[in-house]
Structure 1
């Protein structure tokens, strides 16, 4: 590949390098890509929509003021502009000849897809194309949504069932680092375009509740439902010049309680699953039942509830492989490591991590989870090996392939005048 820059993108309730006292969201992963690649850690709104996160990601990579687009912002009911990264971009001269590789964990995978599609539309008016992204790597990505989202979202429309402040407070309890909503900078909610995070958590909550954050559907809670994923998959494209890899995590096993044969079987958490995810894993394994179908074609083929029970504690296993709900996208097949000669640009290729490494991977095991459990034998090394192998694959992919038409080099072309003009 010609890209020399890898951008890591966190998911729902994720964090950046300046949050949580510098706790590394991506664990040991970035270190496995040096010195061949330059690595960059993005920070997006942990509850912001896939669209808004993609706009924030673009601004950080190119070095510009965040622009969510005039028509999108007006429709959602939030400000068009937000933070300014001018002079602090990740990549100088970002272009089709100097593209990036984006690696997204969880909902960050959808952010990466949205970024490429907005680039293809030249959303920011800089002459961009889909080729500015050379590869998208999804790690435990809800490419077709997660049924866990319906614990907090309506089953009929896929919108949050609670006020925005309650949604934020509930999500922050997962991070468990803040004492009150919006009061601390230890964890940055990155909701500037909706309302300022004041010193008073109560004032922040009141302003957020008065916004259209839930009503507009412009939030990540909506986007990770099956409803939201179907909408995204209908509107997003898979592009022929890019490589698409998806790594699938799973940490449940089908069986009866304590292995007793006279009890009914269902998916239960593997003993390797983090304790904080076991309740959510059991929810996915047993609920919801969808009295109202989340998509018109629900109930046939792979869109049957029984096939959506296996999970990693947060995302259904079946959803992580490739986008198919709402609209089918090109698929290259199963197997990545050991199948390098079968990888094709423009087609999604997936691999189960448990089969590749001989151990269960829960939702966070491929990011910070392994590093936060130092006494778990082999977990951290499996995490490192995943990214060592991925870095080698990306470094050597296409080497010697005649269809590339010879060697390709990086360009030093610059992107200029990003945010000074009106655009939608």
Structure 2
């Protein structure tokens, strides 16, 4: 895979140059030096979770966090780690306490809503210490305890991380939509100005049809989440480091428990039920994203930026750069995985799920039930995980194409998409540093210029 990326680097660099021209602002003068918090997506992991491999979520064998710290000076850049399969509510709550410090409180009303699935409001020990001098339980240190309106942050988020950041901003400024959540400081609202900007990369703002496609093929959520992690090489049958962080559902993973053993032990738990909407599998669906977007709005106080990616091509008789082993016969009506797409994304990206018996893939999946989100051919193009059309902005919320000039606060400033880049190319998995670092140099140039 690494050899493939290096051989393709010339093509990728050409694609990057086009995209960077769309982005603009890379040489903007620094107007602030506020900290940057990196937020991972679905099935993401922290910098210490795959010990011994040298592989990072942000950069693969590169290190985006370290690189951003030294862009045109010295900056504070931190990587957050939240539940990889949890709902955006839970991830946002964890993100808040991880930055600010304290013990996680998922909210009384929210917990009651999902009590039937085993939800716990305040799981023991899920804490971060705001003061290293007062940390008798040796909790991990909070990322930025002074966080407030006078000390704002920038968020840079990939995939589901973008939904999570949007949810956190909504809770910070407006509190819970559920009424009384108890004593949790996050739910009181009124925290305007705590976030200067939010940049989302390949985020399914309107959901992804991958969720529907996969559940049509493998209806057990625990099984497909586990298989995805293992095929991607993140967990492996003997890796005890990768952790689902589901203490709020009583599904704590033992410190030495193998990933495969955890999946086997918990696969019957209520959390994994399709009926449980307090999970990533619901929020990432088009219907779940619509429900999320109904209360998570674009704040007039924040600069939003979005970046997309696309790694499929329109079907043809030959010679379109797609993987002809996965899809030897193609229709010009549908989209197909490029031959340089990451191998474990290809089976679901095209017209059919491979192998399957007539289960439609992302490149041809439609949904016409008027009571649900309508899915038509505009959704076919994708990056192997998320439909490109979903990456621009939440449907019905203010958005503009940003190609030059000053960005607009309270709008999604869409920076374009990286063509021929898959979902993990944009965060540097298996790509050379010279290819991926310019993406983040340009983001830094924009956000530090605000």
Q: TM-score range by the shorter chain?
A: 0.7 to 0.9
**Structure 1 residues 52-105: Cα deviation after superposition (integer angstroms, max 9, x where no partner):** 111111111001111111111222231112311123111131111211111110
Q: Secondary structure at the match of 1:152?
A: helix
Aligned counterpart, 1:402: none
Matched, 1:12 2:80: no
**Structure 1 residues 311-337: Cα deviation after superposition (integer angstroms, max 9, x where no partner):** 11111110000110xxx1111x2234x
Aligned counterpart, 1:171: 228
Matched, 1:395 2:430: no
Give 1:252 deviation, angstroms: 1.4
Matched, 1:185 2:240: yes
Relative distance call for 1:203 and 1:274 in structure 2 (3 A) is: closer
Aligned counterpart, 2:214: 152
CA distance, structure 1, for counterparts of residue 310 and residue 262 of structure 2:
41
Matched, 1:68 2:106: yes
- Asked if the contact 2:226–2:263 (Cα under 8 Å) also holds between the matched residues in 1, the reply is no
Matched, 1:140 2:198: no
Matched, 1:275 2:343: yes
Aligned counterpart, 2:56: 24
Larger mean Cα displacement after TM superposition, 80-89 or 270-279? 270-279
Larger mean Cα displacement after TM superposition, 64-73 or 6-15? 64-73
CA distance, structure 1, for counterparts of residue 371 and residue 74 of structure 2:
44
1:79-94 matches, within 5 Å, as 79-82=120-123, 83-87=126-130, 88-94=141-147
Aligned counterpart, 1:329: 397
Match of residue 46, structure 1, among 79, 84, 107:
84
Give 1:230 deviation, angstroms: 0.4
Matched, 1:161 2:161: no
- Asked if the contact 2:428–2:436 (Cα under 8 Å) also holds between the matched residues in 1, the reply is no
**Structure 1 residues 284-320: Cα deviation after superposition (integer angstroms, max 9, x where no partner):** 4444332534636x3xxxxx51111111111111000
Give 1:9 deviation, angstroms: 0.5
CA distance, structure 2, for counterparts of residue 94 and residue 263 of structure 1:
52
- Asked if the contact 1:140–1:315 (Cα under 8 Å) also holds between the matched residues in 2, the reply is yes
- What are the ranges of 5 or more consecutive residues in structure 2 without an aligned counterpart? 1-30, 131-140, 177-183, 321-328, 353-360
CA distance, structure 1, for counterparts of residue 371 and residue 376 of structure 2:
11
Give 1:373 deviation, angstroms: 3.7
CA distance, structure 2, for counterparts of residue 259 and residue 165 of structure 1:
38
Match of residue 196, structure 1, among 252, 257, 262:
252
CA distance, structure 1, for counterparts of residue 39 and residue 338 of structure 2:
27
- What are the ranges of 5 or more consecutive residues in structure 1 without an aligned counterpart? 299-303, 375-379, 398-424
- Asked if the contact 1:114–1:236 (Cα under 8 Å) also holds between the matched residues in 2, the reply is yes
Give 1:254 deviation, angstroms: 1.5
CA distance, structure 2, for counterparts of residue 188 and residue 334 of structure 1:
38
Relative distance call for 1:291 and 1:131 in structure 2 (3 A) is: same
Q: Secondary structure at the match of 2:110?
A: helix
Aligned counterpart, 2:412: 348
**Structure 1 residues 223-269: Cα deviation after superposition (integer angstroms, max 9, x where no partner):** 11000110011111111121000001111122313149x96313222
CA distance, structure 1, for counterparts of residue 314 and residue 263 of structure 2:
44
Give 1:25 deviation, angstroms: 0.8
**Structure 1 residues 179-223: Cα deviation after superposition (integer angstroms, max 9, x where no partner):** 44xx74321111111122244865764445233442321110111
- Asked if the contact 1:98–1:132 (Cα under 8 Å) also holds between the matched residues in 2, the reply is yes
Relative distance call for 1:381 and 1:184 in structure 2 (3 A) is: closer
- Asked if the contact 2:203–2:390 (Cα under 8 Å) also holds between the matched residues in 1, the reply is yes
Relative distance call for 1:288 and 1:239 in structure 2 (3 A) is: same
CA distance, structure 2, for counterparts of residue 150 and residue 321 of structure 1:
20
CA distance, structure 2, for counterparts of residue 316 and residue 207 of structure 1:
31
Match of residue 222, structure 1, among 282, 289, 298:
282
Q: Give the TM-score of the pair, scaled to structure 2.
A: 0.75
Relative distance call for 1:65 and 1:208 in structure 2 (3 A) is: farther
- Asked if the contact 2:92–2:165 (Cα under 8 Å) also holds between the matched residues in 1, the reply is yes
Relative distance call for 1:117 and 1:89 in structure 2 (3 A) is: same
Aligned counterpart, 1:318: 389
Q: Secondary structure at the match of 1:366?
A: helix
Relative distance call for 1:281 and 1:203 in structure 2 (3 A) is: closer
Aligned counterpart, 2:16: none
Relative distance call for 1:242 and 1:254 in structure 2 (3 A) is: same
- How many residue pairs get matched? 365
Aligned counterpart, 2:185: 125
Relative distance call for 1:99 and 1:395 in structure 2 (3 A) is: same
- Asked if the contact 2:84–2:244 (Cα under 8 Å) also holds between the matched residues in 1, the reply is yes
Give 1:170 deviation, angstroms: 2.5
Q: Give the TM-score of the pair, scaled to structure 1.
A: 0.79
- Asked if the contact 2:229–2:236 (Cα under 8 Å) also holds between the matched residues in 1, the reply is no
